[in-house]
Amino acid sequence: MAANTTEGPTVAPRRKMNILFSLTLILLLLALWIVLGFWTDKFWTPLNITNLMRQGSMTAILALGQTFVIITAGIDLSVGAIVGFCTVIIAWLLQAGFPVWSAILITLLFGVLIGAFHGFGIVRMGLPPFIITLATLTSLRGIGLLITNGSTINIVNDDFSNFAVSDFLGIPSLFWMVILVAIPAVIFLHLSRWGRYLFAVGSNREAARLSGVNVNWMIYLAYILSGTCAAFVGILLASRIAIGNATQADGWELQAIASSVIGGTSLFGAVGTVYGPLIGAFILATINNGANLLNLNSFWQRIITGVLIIVIVYFDQLRRRRA
């Protein structure tokens, strides 16, 4: 039976709601920038804006990968560990003399394989996404520490390590990487049948299966995309810090989930956009940046993030009850 991709009568109101929510996020981000501009004269300096863009870029890519998974009503707790593990992999490959391009491809392949393993655990072994990705989180940290014997691997390739701190047309290279990932993500999620299938799986797996959607393959694909984005962030982080260290990116999985949720992705599945998590990531980066500039206790950053998540998930529940 062919998949039914015809848009229902609720699609247009949902799109309007997504646009309204995204505009609200943009206004919130602008409001934060204006307030911080008044409170500290350092915020609008070119150096700080560049630093803010670099801070938010890696979280944005990580959040985008997480979004694919959450749309299917899943979760990926391993992305921070994948980032740290991939810094070790690419550092080891470069130290072993591999060309930069081949080291990057091999590292991305690790992300694909880890994502496929998560899909296998969920689809074939019947494990909950929380369990399989939590197991990977702890295992990858341990494997990375075993490879490095608990130390770090220095990256001496200047071409590679200079990329993350370079600019192109006055914009940090890391931000250009967000654009590089976001454009195909928009095409995939919002303009292709595969994106519609992801939403269908998150909405009702059995109904999607009966409509002809290969539900198992879509789950594999969602986790592969998440793992690939995490591996890509690991490459960018290795370029920025010029070392491979398995303990890097500790807690980044929570930042990715928070950015995605703040950006309007529903933890119940079937609701999400590409641009929402990107805006959410830069909202969090702005909060962290502003707190540092104002010398606020770092605990306040966690509190503000937690409050934002509670408020947005609460309104998401209200929206679902009215749907």
pLDDT tens profile 103-116:
999 999 999 999 99
Q: What's the pLDDT at 3?
A: 44
3-state secondary structure of 142: helix
User: Which one-letter amino acid corresponds to residue 110?
Assistant: F
96 vs 155: CA distance, rounded Å = 11
57 vs 177: CA distance, rounded Å = 8
**Beta bridge mates, 167:** 172
When pLDDT is averaged across residues 45-56 and rounded to a whole number, the result is 93
What are the φ/ψ torsions at residue 43 (nearest 5 degrees)? -65, -45
| Span 170-221, pLDDT tens digits | 899 999 999 999 999 999 999 999 999 999 999 999 999 999 999 999 999 9
Q: What's the pLDDT at 74?
A: 97
The token pair that represents 229 in the structure block: 């984005």
Location of structure tokens 């490095």: 148
**Whole-model pTM over 0.85:** yes
What are the φ/ψ torsions at residue 246 (nearest 5 degrees)? -65, -20
Q: 12 vs 136, which has greater pLDDT?
A: 136
The token pair that represents 258 in the structure block: 């928070």
Q: What's the pLDDT at 300?
A: 79
Is a pLDDT exceeding 70 seen at residue 323? no
**What DSSP line would sit under 223-248, residue for residue?**
HHHHHHHHHHHHHHHHHHH-EE-TTT
Using 50, 70 and 90 to split pLDDT, how confident is the model at 101? very high
31 vs 308: CA distance, rounded Å = 15
Q: What's the pLDDT at 320?
A: 64
Percent of the chain with pLDDT over 90: 75
Is a pLDDT exceeding 70 seen at residue 63? yes
β-bridge pairing 171-172 and 167-168: antiparallel
Angle subtended by helix axes 11-39 and 275-293, to nearest 10:
20
